[in-house]
Amino acid sequence: MSIPAARKILVAQGGGPTAVINQSLVGVVLEARRHRGIDLVYGARHGVRGILNEDFVDLTQETSHNLELVAGTPASALGSTRDKPDLAYCQKIFEVLRAHGIGYFFYIGGNDSSDTVRIVAEEARQAGYPLRCIHIPKTIDNDLVGSDHTPGFPSAARFVAQAFAGANLDNAALPGVYVGVVMGRHAGFLTAASALGKKFDDDGPHLIYLPERVFEIERFLADVKAIHERHGRCVIAVSEGIHDASGQPIAARLAKDLEHDAHGNVQLSGSGALADLLCEEIKTRLKIKRVRGDTFGYLQRSFVGCVSDVDQREAREVGEKAVQYAMWGDRDGSVSIRRNGYYSVDYELLPLEAVAGKTRVMEDHFISDSGTDVTDAFRLYLRPLLGSGMPDAFRLRPNPVARVLKP
Amino acid sequence: MSIPAARKILVAQGGGPTAVINQSLVGVVLEARRHRGIDLVYGARHGVRGILNEDFVDLTQETSHNLELVAGTPASALGSTRDKPDLAYCQKIFEVLRAHGIGYFFYIGGNDSSDTVRIVAEEARQAGYPLRCIHIPKTIDNDLVGSDHTPGFPSAARFVAQAFAGANLDNAALPGVYVGVVMGRHAGFLTAASALGKKFDDDGPHLIYLPERVFEIERFLADVKAIHERHGRCVIAVSEGIHDASGQPIAARLAKDLEHDAHGNVQLSGSGALADLLCEEIKTRLKIKRVRGDTFGYLQRSFVGCVSDVDQREAREVGEKAVQYAMWGDRDGSVSIRRNGYYSVDYELLPLEAVAGKTRVMEDHFISDSGTDVTDAFRLYLRPLLGSGMPDAFRLRPNPVARVLKP
């Protein structure tokens, strides 16, 4: 395939925002502006939808200073979209790219976005139009195949670890059962990150429920009962995607069992239903009085001020590398992260077909035999990603005083 | 009243944990250990309940190094309790204090705790037992009378401001309606803190609902509709304590209106019910498709790694000052914070009766005439409390590109 003649690039952001997706955007823009072969850097507003609407901003006119500030700001600065383009949609995308003389297309997103890039690239090839297409990885779910991890995941994982470290301290101060529901419909990586909030042996989360394992309510209640009897309290991390053996989401099933049909459709994200339903089960069946549930919701992906510096620099680099692959390479692809040693990374360009539309889930060796904890292999995997300056928790040492009235 | 002869002090922590309550504890312990008149510093485990059970730890044996580390750790290191002692309970507390020869009693807590201190002090006086009693303020609700603000509130306010700054960016990237439910049953200070997450004119939260104002669902829907039509999106901060004109919580009322009786009792904290119910109203009545709700729950008071440095140092000082008032003063009382200039504080010892059992709510001049926003007076009040290093958000400037296909 020939090198594109056009001197314009287009970059867009798709799917759920992350804490570092703007690092990748700015990596693309600043690196592209350094290349003599590039005259204009366009950004599409609200992802592929903005391409269809020709809703472009000229990022060449932005100051590098403001770009650096935007890079440090979470959530997609260009706006995002939930549109999942089919073939006809991708054909329209290609028509717009051709009409604007775009020679390079960069799409920052998850596995749906990589599939869009793949189809658009195929359209260009069939039309004989010189277009270089690069997918830049991004997802808090960490569910892209072919990468050690995905930009956005480490910062969200850091939020989850810090949240559980705090929830554990709160629960130790006022004992009871605490259920924290974490995002991740198919992959349990983010829920598993809760384990990195543990410091002392008796710290929570004491139980972790992942979508990679079948959830059984009776076993869950038995687990909670055992922990509560041992520690006088119990902190539980639950993935929003937990499901029964048939694949039915537990939120939907519990709602039905409890005749909560008035709820109508049970929505997984942006709703506290799963946490509330699990708490109700624990209260009713185990007769435990103090049971509290939180759904981390959008806080875990949008909270300003909780970011991994490792994630920031890697997100920046995948954007830069994407431009370098496009300018100096001779093929389309998806930028991936490969881990070297303890801890550094390299990047490589995978074929789009190797990533597009595929979903990674947690590998078995990351999950304990009990199915309700992570392994040391997972701790070793995740810890360096969380970055520097992780808060640490301390406790008073026991120095008991003898009783006087009731010795 | 005579100066106590005993050379033992007892300190305890009550009510909901905060990010800085251990600063006050360590302020008491380290300051007390400096005084020659003190031999032993005891801590009661789990507040007044620990006193009844004579469950004490000897904090004199703790290293000052570990105490400093504990000071930087959120949530009550001694453990807390939700017990609200009545007269008989307080009499038992006094009996234990007398049996252990305690001369100084420090209780770190909110207005219920200050009332406990008041009753215990009264018991000691009636018994002619020399006991110095000092209440040390703490509450994320900021609802103690007589203080400019209460330790714990600034850090929780910082969490809420950062959370809304992020939620606003997320909502701008993927437009829709976002409802964030914040703690505070009677006082709206913490919910109002969401306003400090705004930077640009069109940033959310666009609407703020406080327990100081009557909540009307029809007016709420009209407000949301107007904002959504203007901005194409809407970010809303809601206090868990919002209620109708009769004082009935909206969570309970909506659940009834929507025939969600299967829920049983509607609980305000530790449940996502209010956010879910408001979202359902917006979806059903306004026909808006993308509506998401989060309940900040325990994250807002327990999250590790989000703390105001101003809050930290003030919480430390109220603990230190409590010991100084006790050792050098001649009366019981509650330590209060008075603001001087812009921005510094002084401390004073208020009579226990001036604080005990009373609840402060947001002053009228902090709430806009619309009832759904804060005033500049509130921004000026809260901003210095949030401390240094607040994250800032940046955006790309509009540099639109002319359309080619559909000009």
CATH of the domain at A127: 3.40.50.450
Under the banding of pLDDT at 50, 70 and 90, the label for residue B169 is very high
A248 and A298 share one domain? yes
Partners of residue A264 in chain B, C-beta under 8 Å: 280
Q: Is A87 helix (H, G, I), strand (E, B) or coil?
A: helix
Token output for A146: 């072919």
Summarize pLDDT for B133-164 with one digit per residue, the tens.
Answer: 999 999 999 999 999 999 999 999 999 999 99
> Rounded distance, CA B232 to CA B226, Å?
10
Query: Position of tokens 């049996």?
Result: B99
Among the partner residues B273, B279, B301, nearest to A170 by beta-carbon distance:
B301
Question: Shortest Cα distance from B277 to chain A (angstroms)?
Answer: 9
Q: Choosing among B304, B399, B406, which should be mutated to test the A contact, i.e. which has the most A CBs within 10 A?
A: B304
Same-domain check for residues B139 and B182: no
| CB-count burial class (<10 Å; 0-12, 13-18, 19+) for B388 | exposed
- Helix H or strand E segment including A11: strand A8-13
CB neighbour list of residue A226: distance below 8 Å, 6 or more residues apart: none
Q: How many CB atoms lie within 10 A of CB B126?
A: 10
Residues A250 and A120 in one domain: no
Q: Which amino acid is at A389?
A: G
Q: Which residues does A247 contact at the CB level (< 8 Å), separation at least 6?
A: none
Tell whether A135 is covered by a domain: yes
> Would you place residue B269 in the very low, low, confident or very high pLDDT band (cuts 50, 70, 90)?
low
In a domain, A280, yes or no: yes
B247/B350 same-domain check: no
Among A154, A267, A311, residue whose Cα is nearest residue B272: A267
- What is the pLDDT at residue A375? 98
The encoded tokens of residue B213 equal 């104002």
Specify whether A92 is located in the same domain as A235.
no
Give the up-direction half-sphere exposure of residue B6: CA atoms within 13 A in the CB hemisphere.
Answer: 20
In this structure, the number of other CB atoms found within 10 A of the CB of residue A287 comes to: 8
- What confidence tier does B4 reach under pLDDT thresholds 50, 70, 90? low
Q: How far is B366 from chain A (nearest CA, A)?
A: 25
Residue-wise burial string across A308-346, b where 16 or more C-beta atoms lie within 10 A, e elsewhere: bebbbebbbbbbbbbbbbbbeeeebbbbbbeeeeeeebe
Of the candidates A17, A263, A297, the beta carbon closest to that of B294 is on: A297
* pTM: predicted TM-score of the whole model, two decimal places: 0.95
A296 contacts in chain B (CB < 8 Å): 299
Position B256 scores a pLDDT of 64
Contact B279 A271 (CB under 8 A): yes
A295 contact residues in B (CB cutoff 8 A): 272, 294-295, 297
Who contacts A282 (Cβ-Cβ below 8 Å, separation ≥6)?
A177, A179, A221, A224, A288, A291
Same domain, A279 and A332: no
Helical segments of B53-184, H only: 64-71, 87-99, 111-127, 153-173
The CA-atom distances, in angstroms, between A218 and each of A1, A229, A258, B101 are: 58, 17, 15, 51
Mean pLDDT of chain B: 94
CA dist A7 and A33 (Å) reads 11
Residues of A with Cβ-Cβ distance to B174 under 8 angstroms = 16-17, 76, 79-82
pLDDT for the residue numbered A264:
44
Residue B406 belongs to a domain: no
Cβ A178–B59 below 8 Å, yes or no? no
Q: Residue B177: enclosing H or E segment and its boundaries?
A: strand B177-182
Q: H or E element: which one contains B102?
A: strand B102-109
Residue in B400, B214, B176, B152 with CA at minimum distance from that of residue B290? B176
Instruction: Report d(CA A328, CA A316) in Å as an integer.
Output: 19
CB B347 within 8 A of CB B336: yes
Cβ neighbours around B400 below 10 Å, total? 11
Q: B45 and A403 in contact (C-beta within 8 Å)? A: no
Nearest CA in chain B to A76: B173
Summarize the confidence of residues B184-189 as an average pLDDT: 95
Please give the C-alpha separations between residue A375 and each of A104, A193, A208, A326, in angstroms, as whole numbers: 42, 11, 12, 39
Q: Is residue A272 part of a domain?
A: yes
Beta carbons of B404 and A99 less than 8 Å apart? yes
CB-CB contact of B24 with B334 (8 Å): no
Residue range B342-391, pLDDT digits in tens: 899 999 999 999 999 899 999 999 999 999 999 999 999 999 999 999 99
Partners of residue B202 in chain A, C-beta under 8 Å:
none
β-pairing verdict for B56-58 and B40-44: antiparallel
End-to-end alpha carbon distance in chain B: 86
Cβ atoms of B134 and B105 closer than 8 Å:
yes
| Enzyme catalytic residues of B | 141
Q: Single out the residue of B64, B333, B383, B53 nearest to residue B192, CA to CA.
A: B383
A286 vs A306: CA distance, rounded Å = 36
CA distance B300 to chain A (A): 9
Query: Are residues B313 and B297 part of one domain?
Result: no
Give the Cβ contact number of residue B281 at 10 Å.
20
* Phi, psi dihedrals of residue B346, rounded to the nearest 5°: -125, 165
Nearest to B181 by CA among B221, B210, B224, B203: B210
What is the C-alpha separation between A320 and A341, in angstroms, rounded? 22
Query: Phi and psi for B186 in degrees, rounded to 5?
Result: -115, -35
Burial of A390 per CB tally in 10 Å (0-12, 13-18, 19+): middle
Which of A16, A270, A293 has the CB atom closest to B293's CB atom?
A: A270
CB-based contact B292 A276, cutoff 8 Å: no
| Phi then psi dihedrals of residue B291, to 5 deg | -125, 125
- Give a yes or no: residue B315 inside a domain: yes
The residue count of chain B comes to 407
Q: Are residues B174 and B98 in the same domain?
A: no
All residues of chain B having their beta carbon less than 8 Å from the beta carbon of residue A390 are: 305
Q: Using DSSP, state whether B96 is helix, strand or coil.
A: helix
Which residue, A2, A9, A32, is CA-closest to A129? A2
Residue A261 falls within a domain, yes or no? yes
Minimal-distance CA residue of chain A relative to B161: A304
Divide the 407 residues of chain A into consecutive groups of 10 and give the mean pLDDT of each group: 70 97 98 93 97 97 98 97 94 96 97 95 96 97 97 98 98 97 96 97 97 97 98 97 94 64 48 89 95 94 96 98 96 97 95 95 98 98 97 95 91
Q: Which helix (H) or strand (E) holds A105?
A: strand A102-109
pLDDT at A65: 98
Task: Identify the DSSP state of B243.
Answer: B
Q: Tell if the CB–CB gap between A56 and B165 is shorter than 8 Å.
A: no
Q: Do B59 and A399 touch (CB under 8 A)?
A: yes
pLDDT reported for residue A269: 58
Whether A170 contacts A204, CB under 8 Å? no
Give the number of other CB atoms < 10 A from CB of residue B66. Answer: 14
Of A83, A86, A115, A141, the catalytic one is A141
Nearest to residue B179, comparing CAs of B83, B311, B274? Answer: B274
Residues of chain B contacting residue A65, judged by C-beta atoms under 8 Å apart? none
Q: What's the CATH number where B241 sits?
A: 3.40.50.460
- Angle among Cα B323, B153, A156 to the nearest 5 degrees reads 125
In angstroms, the separation between the Cα of residue A64 and the nearest Cα of chain B is 11
DSSP string, A289-334: S-EEEEE-TTHHHH-TT---HHHHHHHHHHHHHHHHHHHH-SS-EE
Range of the domain at B264: 155-304+364-386
Residue pairs spanning A and B at CB distance below 8 A:
273
Which of B78, B100, B262 is closest, CB to CB, to A260?
A: B262
Q: Specify the length of chain A in residues.
A: 407
Q: In this structure, are B281 and B176 located in the same domain?
A: yes
Q: Do A169 and B401 touch (CB under 8 A)?
A: no
- Tell me whether residue A26 is in a domain: yes
CA distance B153 to chain A (A): 16
- Give the bridge partners for A235, in sequence order: A178
B23, B319 Cβ separation under 8 angstroms: yes
Domains in chain A: how many in total? 2
Could you tell me if residue B398 is inside a domain? no
Give the separation between CA B364 and CA B183, rounded to whole angstroms.
20
> Is the same domain home to A268 and A143?
no
pLDDT at residue B64 above 80? Answer: yes
CB pair distance less than 8 Å for A167 and B70: no
> CB-CB: which of B58, B276, B393 is closest to A304?
B393
Long-range contacts of B90-94 (CB under 8 A, 24+ apart): B90/B116, B90/B119, B90/B120, B90/B123, B91/B123, B92/B52, B93/B48, B93/B51, B93/B52, B93/B120, B93/B123, B94/B120, B94/B123, B94/B124, B94/B127, B94/B129, B94/B131
Residues of chain B in contact with residue A279, where contact means CB-CB under 8 angstroms, are 270-271
Check CB contact under 8 Å for A396 and B77. yes
A243 Ramachandran zone, left/alpha/beta (phi>0; psi -120 to 50): beta
The verdict on B147 and B17 lying in the same domain is: yes
Q: Report pLDDT for A5.
A: 56
Q: Which helix H or strand E contains B57, and what residues bound it?
A: strand B56-58
Q: Rg for chain B (alpha carbons), in Å?
A: 24
Q: Do B17 and A404 touch (CB under 8 A)?
A: no
My answer on whether B268 and B171 are in the same domain is yes
Q: Please report, rounded to a whole number, the percentage of residues in chain B having pLDDT higher than 70.
A: 95
Buried b / exposed e over B213-232, threshold 16 CB at 10 Å, is bebebeebbebbbebbeebe
Enumerate residues 6+ apart whose C-beta is below 8 A from B241.
Answer: B184, B185, B186, B188, B211, B249, B268
